[in-house]
Chains A and B, each alone.
Chain A
Amino acid sequence: MRKFTDKTLGVTVVAVTLWASSALAHHGWNWTEDKQTEMTGEITEIFIGPPHPRLMITTPDGAWQVDLGNPRQTRDAGFVEGEAAVGDTVLIRGHRSAKSDERIIKAVRATINGKVYTFYPQLVREDE
């Protein structure tokens, strides 16, 4: 009886772990497309703070959420309060969600008013 119970518990733990890890989106890059894309939009909302700084933008293609770096990476990129305002035009270079119906892009770099903010300097690819 004891053996059976332990085995069942083990299987359950493994199943739950696999299920949970497949759902771990938005941290890291495994939820995004491999290729980098660029999109231009108008900023409708700016949030700088924990847990995750982000922009909301409207593009000719509709509304998108732009995830920036974590709070420290975002600050180190020079993107702090006052750098941009709602209504500014932004050029985003980054990785879109691999789900085509999920309109979220994780920015590697943002260009606003001619100023460049690079959140992940080592990840910028110019060849695509």
Chain B
Amino acid sequence: MLQSLSSTLAESALASAIRHSELAYPLLSSLHIVGIGILLGNILLLDLRLLGVLRQNALAEVLSLLSRIAGLGLGLAIASGLLLFSVQPQHYLHNPAFLLKLALLSLALLNLLLVQYSQSWQQAQSGGQVSSGLKLAAACSLLLWLAIIIAGRWIAFA
């Protein structure tokens, strides 16, 4: 099923347009970097604030601002990433670094969902204490996003 899905994607008009354009791919790559930049910059500050490494500003305000902008970056990175992937899905599905990146990304997104719907997040957002569980999730997030960047960069060399 994954095979047929990926060949449908590769044969789509959009994927073909990106393959044949001189501008599309470099521009999408740039957008992917911008998305990652926005995501990582904000998520690092968010995680470090939760971990107590950074202590500036009211927790509730910082969390709400940083998590929204990080979400924007994530959306941009995923959208541009899907389009970059569409150019040759089969090739990427056989690339070990890409598969590792997908696995790490799934963990990071799972972590994100667990945090977003947790009691601890509600508590922190209303200015309460940061629970030790939330701190652990922040540490995982920090490591996972950095690992995703490294695995992503490795796709070209795997």
Contacts and interface: CB of A to CB of B under 8 A. Distances in A.
B20 interface: yes
| Max chain B C-beta neighbours (<10 A), residue from A24, A26, A50, A51 | A50
Contact of A71 (B22, B29, B154, B157): B22
Interface residues of A, number: 12
Interface of B: 18-20, 22, 25-26, 29, 87-88, 91, 154, 156-157
Interface string A22-59: 01111100000000000000000001111100000000
B19 A49 contact: yes
B157 A50 contact: no
A78 B87 CA distance: 21
Given A47-B88, A47-B91, A49-B88, A25 B157 contact: yes
A72 interface: yes
A46 B112 CA distance: 40
Given A48-B19, A49-B25, 5 more contacts: A23-B157, A24-B157, A49-B19, A71-B25, A72-B22
